[in-house]
Structure 1
Amino acid sequence: MSRVLRRTAFIACAGVALLIGCGSSSPAPLDRATDAHGGGVGSGGVGSAGAGSADPGDANAAPDVDCDGLSAELQGALDAAVEAQRLPGAAAAVSTGGCRWLGAAGVADAEDNVAMQPDDLFRVGSITKSFVAALALMLHAEGRLSLDDAVSRYVDGVPRGEQISVRQILNHTSGLFDFTSCDEFWSAALDDPTHRWTPAELVALAASKPPYFEPGQGFAYSNTNYIIAGLVVEAASGEPVGELLRARVIEPAELAHTYLDGAEAAVPGLVHGYGRSRGQLVDTTSAIDPSAAGTAGALVSTTGDLTRFYRKLLDGTLLGPAELAELTTWVDAPLGEVNGYGLGLSRRESQLGVEYGHDGSIWGFTSSSYHAIDSDASITVLVNLESGDAGRIVDELSNVLIMP
């Protein structure tokens, strides 16, 4: 098991599943842009009212949309993707043109051959970062923290914390070393998989290594940033981050199946996650305690909840106009298909137009969730294989939506 975990992704960089600690994403020069928005197999179904139904929450639903036909095409594409990538399973959600489709393919438990269901729970890795950034922006709106505050105002033990701003933590321009690139972290995590990590331990690991660059002088995706971000919002609010997430984001967005693992009681129904060793599946669902991911990647959710979250994050339900502008102030981010990173949010080009969301990878799982504002299309894909390519499936489902 340790050989599988050591060479596969832990908490992936936005935009592409990369090796441990996002090591293949070299630090890049900082290029800030200030434009906001303007700049089992066959188990799918559409809508809560049954296959082929229009989304009842979409007042602009087109009356001539063939939701039944779209459902069949999306399910076929998902089935084909699971087969092509040799995945144990995957679940997906698509919302567009008045149709809402939830689908699944493959298995949630390979040993007992349990079919995947559209509303199954997955670890979603770095998608957690969008939730934590939303919290920070809410506190910013209330004057409880400033994005330009030094992190040393809230958190002790951060190297050059007096020079690093909260904003630089949230958009990965701090230069802080990624603790998931530390051999010491992996040795300890694999020697004692039940060890409960404290944020201070994870920050100390990063502090033992030299920074990538001076604060604000480049971009380097680092999970350390979001461990610190969790500590910042706790210090600014005086509340535990798990309780804050539930009260300020999860419940207001009506996310019925989402929780921060390790900070809240687990909800039954988490699918099994897998790695591969010598061509064989290895169950890595609980290979490391979720505290090792914390506010950088410990969230558990469903395709439906994540699709709802990004829509509400971007439509002004959760954040006001000023905070949305901060959220979508981009720095150049050379992360695969991602070409910009805001505050816990990725931007990428697609055939549906500019998309906003995030990708994630954690032991046993990969994830990708994006919303294209101009085309009003949302796609979320969750995969229970840590070497799976959820983002590729997002693109394949996008192709279905643009077919004549």
Structure 2
Amino acid sequence: MSPTSARLRRGATVAVLSGTLLAPVTAGPAPAAVPAAFVAGTPSPSASEPDVRPLSPDVTRRLDASVRRVMREADVPGVTVGVWTPGQRGYVRSFGVADKATGRRMTPGLYTRIGSETKTFTVTALLQLVDQGKVGLDDTIGQYVDGVPGGDRITLRQLAGMRSGLFNYSEDDDFFKALTSDPQRPFTPRQLLAYSFRHPVLFPPGRKFSYCNTNLILLGLVVEKESGRHLADYLRQHILDPAGMKHTLLPKGSEFPTPHAQGYTDQTANGKTAETAGWNPSWGWAAGAMVSTLDDLHIWARTVATGELPDGKRMISVATQRQRLTTPATPIPDVGYGLGIFNVRGWIGHNGSLPGYESLTIYLPSTRTTVVVVLNTDIDHDGEEPSTLFGRAVTEIISPRHVFDLPAAPSAR
């Protein structure tokens, strides 16, 4: 989620897909999938250029310099970057500070809030229930949750694909005032939905793409109802533990395991920068409240992109995973969004933004390369998310045929 009222409700860059519990962005019908191959618009590599360059000492030096440049230009306190390709040397570096007050250094082992990367976990839980025959993607949300405007026409598929037409609760003025006036206050899923449901639907379901956190709150409720478990418990038992992700969780309150970095945001009532490690993330719940680490996100990048657990077992069936990775076009050029996951010029994954924290976890299937970025601010630089700046800087060097670029869309307000 993001700063000033415009950003907390901002929508897409991430927004399109990000961890920002953002504002809606709309586009016309989007049946055409974005190809996994590189699309024009990034630096032109030579014909002999590999999809991903080996991490030679020269490439490593260039990465170091580029990350430091972005930090300096965007005034980022601390960042950790990981790059891994099987059979090649990996790259894991931390830069800057985890806490500006104490000077404590940023390190790779810190816990971090991952914002809208949470969506990939919630949708994974939903797809497991699809595989079990407990729900159908073309079921309507009205079959599971009462009181949804147009709920007899909005499908679970449309919710997961950001094409429901529902109003984004984090765009509501009263919600913004409630959150920023008391960042430690808890919110229930039903309270969040109430902020959305007071608004008319934006368009008939399926008509457009519009990034909306309301969708994921509803899907979280579906998972709880049909599994008979709290969402946090379901995720731990059926996704996190099987994947070996021992340092990832959906908090049930404001808990934040240590060690973690202090977060810095300007999404405040007065617009001044504030520390956010103690803020309650419950307002993001199934759309954005999870906590993880660099190493766990490294595991998750391939797992969510392939539907296969690290031990070779299926997390999601091949057929269902194929549906997840059908990524119709969005208003952002060269970006497609499937079922809780995006494709940006071949990179599959998601980003996240919550006040004080941003993250990016992406996977390039052609080379099985993973990039993870975690940082302790969500303050935009020249209208761009810091995580996008780092993602672009890293991929311009390592994968010039596949440059990650997720430009921020203008606010809907």
Q: TM range, normalised to the smaller chain? A: 0.7 to 0.9
CA distance in 1, matches of 2:363, 2:203: 32
Of structures 1 and 2, the one with the larger relative CO (CA 8 A, separation 6+) is 2
Q: Does residue 1:226 correspond to 2:226, yes or no?
A: no
Contact 1:12 1:362 in 2 (8 A): no
Aligned residue runs from structure 1 range 1-400, under 5 A: 5-9=4-8, 13=12, 15-16=14-15, 22-23=22-23, 25-33=24-32, 70-96=59-85, 97-262=87-252, 266-276=256-266, 281-287=273-279, 289-317=280-308, 318-335=315-332, 339-349=335-345, 354-388=346-380, 389-400=386-397
Equivalent residue letter for 1:22 = L
Give, in angstroms, the shift of residue 377 of structure 1.
Answer: 1.7
**1:125-157: CA deviation from partner (whole Å, max 9, x where unpaired):** 111101111111111011011101111111122
SS of structure 2 residue aligned to 1:382: strand
Measured after TM superposition, the shift of residue 279 of structure 1 is 10
AA aligned opposite 2:348: Y
Query: 2:337–2:343: 8 Å Cα contact kept in structure 1?
Result: yes
Q: For 1:234 and 1:170, locate their aligned partners in 2 and report how far apart those are by CA, in whole Å.
A: 16
Give the whole-Å Cα distance in 1 for the aligned partners of 2:337 and 2:250: 23
Determine if contact 2:19/2:351 at 8 Å carries over to the other structure.
Answer: no
Dislocated runs of 4+, deviation >3 Å: 3-23, 33-39, 64-73, 263-266, 276-281
Aligned to 2:383: none
How far, CA to CA, are the matches of 2:387 and 2:36 in structure 1? 24
CA shift in 2, pair 1:250/1:11, >3 Å: farther
**Unaligned stretches of 5+ residues in structure 2:** 39-51, 309-314, 381-385, 402-413
**Aligned counterparts of 1:169 and 1:19: Cα–Cα separation in 2:** 16
Task: Name the CA distance, whole Å, in 1 between partners of 2:78 and 2:9.
Answer: 19
Q: Which amino acid aligns with 2:389?
A: R
CA 1:386–1:367 in 2, change beyond 3 Å: closer, same or farther?
same
Deviation at 1:382, TM superposition (A): 1.4
Which residue of structure 2 aligns with residue 44 of structure 1? none
Equivalences, count: 372
Which string of whole-angstrom CA distances, capped at 9 and with x for unpartnered residues, describes residues 8-31 of structure 1? 4368535358998633x5321121
* Secondary structure in 1 matching 2:82: strand
* Counterpart residue type for residue 215 of structure 1: P
Cα displacement (A) at 1:243 = 0.5
1:49 is aligned to none
TM-score between the two structures when normalised by the length of structure 2: 0.82
Shift of 1:6: 3.5
Q: How does the TM-score come out when normalised to structure 1?
A: 0.84
How far does residue 259 in structure 1 lie from its aligned partner after superposition? Answer: 1.0
Q: C-alpha offsets along residues 212-252 of structure 1, whole Å, 9 cap, x if unaligned?
A: 10111111100000011100111111111000111111111
Cα–Cα, structure 1 residues 147 and 264, in superposed 2: closer, same or farther, change >3 Å? farther
Would the aligned equivalents of 1:35 and 1:328 in 2 still touch at CA under 8 Å? no
Name the stretch that deviates more: 304-313 or 223-232.
Answer: 304-313
RMSD over aligned CA atoms reads 2.9
Task: Provide the C-alpha distance between the structure 2 equivalents of 1:327 and 1:204, rounded to a whole number of angstroms.
Answer: 28
Counterpart of 2:154 in structure 1: which amino acid? I
Distance change >3 Å, CA 35–CA 10, structure 1 → 2: closer
The alignment partner of 1:102 has SS state of strand
Higher strand fraction (1 or 2)? 1
Q: 1:152 to 1:403 in 2, by over 3 A?
A: closer
Which amino acid is the alignment partner of residue 339 of structure 2?
A: L
Contact 2:168-2:196 within 8 A present in 1 as well: yes
Between 1:361-370 and 1:176-185, the stretch displaced more is 361-370
Cα deviation, 1:159-192, whole Å, max 9, x if unaligned, reads 1111111111100111000000000101222233
- Please, which moves more after superposition, 87-96 or 267-276? 267-276
Structure 2 CA distance for partners of 1:269 and 1:13, relative to 1, 3 Å: farther
Once residues 151 and 309 of structure 1 are traced to their aligned partners in structure 2, the CA distance between those partners, rounded to angstroms, is 28
